Structure 1
């Protein structure tokens, strides 16, 4: 599997507010001798609703706290410049913070925890990279800090009525896995478009757009063999609970689709035979794959299981979950389970995102064990033996597909407060 780095992302438009009374500095943790940033910060951020998931941007460990504002800043002043206050110190939260100074400087602080999964802060950059002054002025394990003039680093200038508007943007890079029929990524990514508007006084809002998702599709397909593919949604609620076992205790229904997941979040997949009570039947998964459209033959595709075994060219190998008598199922051989880490498709040529929808498909086969065929999946057998099993079972094959699984909007939180 080839690995590439490229840029794509969720767009966030940020317009900041001027306030000549605000004062601010940043300082890297454990480095109190660094020179602070300019003291005048013309900014009053606009407050937007927080993400749906519970997330406290101010839960930053002491060793990762970066000073935001002067040492004598008050809690109210700290809040007004979109930072966190713990009673003693004003510091940057786990978010993307954009600020503007009176002397014409952008300051952008990107937190590792601003998205799920976490951003590689060392991969964050402005699109203008030829100028050394456009690189981060500070990078820690948890934050990347940029400071540059509003007239530099590819900033565009335009006038908006009584405002002078400076606009720039930055992105994070991500790793792409390239397969024979499609490409995917499991890395978080974002693209941040930000502006500074200058006038005697200015107040503007932050805008985020979230696209609506289409209705769900059928979760079962008819054929000579009736099978069902469904996703487990059980959770651990007691001490000592095993997550992999609890996940299959309950399942999403048709009304739940499309299901929203974040990158690398596990998808607990179960395929089972319907309306059969013969204990000798053994369900095998010939091939499982993912597409970005409901049609299982559509492209791009990404293999999950090949001959019932994890696709070896995926860095995040699919996990096959054993199903035996301890599962509590009446016919455990009628079931197959596996776990996939959530991903999104990218364009095979440009490595930009195609869309955030993922559909799972499995080609299934029923097998009758005999003295010459144990129906064991061929993970450790030779290719010739695997081909033989395919010939035996292909006459009873069916394809089953999942409903739509959506990549959730990235949690790039920059809630701003406005005081008019």
Structure 2
């Protein structure tokens, strides 16, 4: 078997199938031995040819192996060498097929019926009195016709070396309908007479083929019934079914292929039943238009091939049916589906369609545009396939600003409406059947409220608010030039000044600035920026009664290259006690480090200056020195006497054992109830408001003895550093909360963690600021908290304060193994 670029001949039993490219179109004629034969539909059926088209116009040509142009020497091998003319183009067809014939072959095609049988052995075929005779039986009325007359009626009668063949197009007047097992069938009863040497022989050429009445439909399933015993073809009821095959487009399928396509064929007692799901592989959906309405059908061409043998005659019959099926048309309402509307366009799609529909143009209020013109105008027309590749839709995106889009602003509702009216121009291929669909697309958007940033400050913090408006939060937040991540946000809680720019400092205040920007993450363009400057009242200089001064020097915006660790006092040998990249902390005596003294009335003014040594000053790009100067000062009363009291309280009994060690008790204020972070030295005094809790922790340091326990004896607050000053607020009395305080102290449990190795060395409690307002009209000054503590050995069998926190207040005795300390 040979093939060419434009077609693929396939030998499929007693038929041949050829695929013809769509560009070649219909088969117009056959060129055989230079003779042009016009292949009309009637002649094609009479000659044993049929061609059909799929939804896109691709042709498939079927030919009986015994067609009128086939050549054979022994009927075992048949060949055809000819040319098909298709719209002026010649397509060579050259094939050779081998086939083993049954005694009788019946072929039911969509356009013809064919029967062939063996010529009896023992003689050569001669005309009977110069004529062939054919007898038709139609509705039991016999008639006789000569061969020429029969062929003029459109029938074909031919013989090969061993076989006779009769072919009849469908719809001939001698054909009649017969109900066989409930299935309507077309029947042509025929006998052919021919002469052998001493006798006249007769060959039965009856044909019976199913009609479309043998098919039933549901929306999901096609069911085709074929009688198992086709009465007109049998001489008795005794027969054996030898073979049963199902196929598509004339080609057999194996069980695995049928299962994959969900086909089924069942050999029942009365019928052979074929079931095919609508939409299954092997068929296709076809579009139709009626009164500008869109319809769809599903088409498929199953094949049944049966082989049986009759017990009386012992002759076999091969029965093959090529049976095109098309489901009834189903209306397919077309829908325009709106997508989620982006910022600048109406986005929508029309669907769904079968694959044989194309979009040709779109009519708008401004005129008719082809698909190419739509895309040139920015509409982005796209053809979108479904997931199963069985249907498609057409999507468009029309900008809001296009002249064809109608705008309506509704200020009372705070929205704007966008409406587009259009008409789709469509066509069904390959028939080029045109139809249209009108649609309106509408979108309502809230009037744009852009992103905004605002901020305020209180005594200690910046508060920044980012308002989304009615826009999606498609931005990144930059704080102080850094991307705000979860880690950076945590730093702002624990290291709040790390991304804040300090613009200036004074003895009692710091001027700071925080910059916030919204950044487009895709273009890195700043969408919105905001800067907030605030003054925070901070005491940067502390003056102590023992003549110690402390000062905090903070890096400011005007000295970006400053290393705070290089700052010194007037005496360049006096550097900071502690420094990092943001500040330097100094502690010195008023009689050292170059501190000056000046008498002003009954006051003494001590001053010093924090600055950068000349040799470390750096020239900036502007040519100015990166200079830094901060003056710190303290005032003392000339005539002022302060008393310092102490007392010793002995234990009731001498200790049973003595040890020597240095212990240190530290009291600190936590930032919150977790006691994870604490206010640093430079942050004092800490500001709190009424009803805000003050979280206090007392720790015994320099001890690694897990048996030692720290116990709070007395804790109280004053307005002065003097622990004996008035007014005084009692917080803890004899280890317990002060019972007369309406805002009682709350003791917090201490558990071990990475910082707390010995929980017994810690005590934690919290006090409400409102507890300090009872004896004064207004709190405007500092509050000082004092505590007396015991360091106890709990293993010693003693009572009193060393028996644990909050013991019996009536027991005035002290434990034996105790050491009393004062804060």
In which range does the TM-score fall when normalised by the shorter chain? 0.3 to 0.5
The structure with higher relative contact order (CA 8 Å, sep 6+) is 1
Q: Which has the larger radius of gyration?
A: 2
> Higher strand fraction: Structure 1 or Structure 2?
2
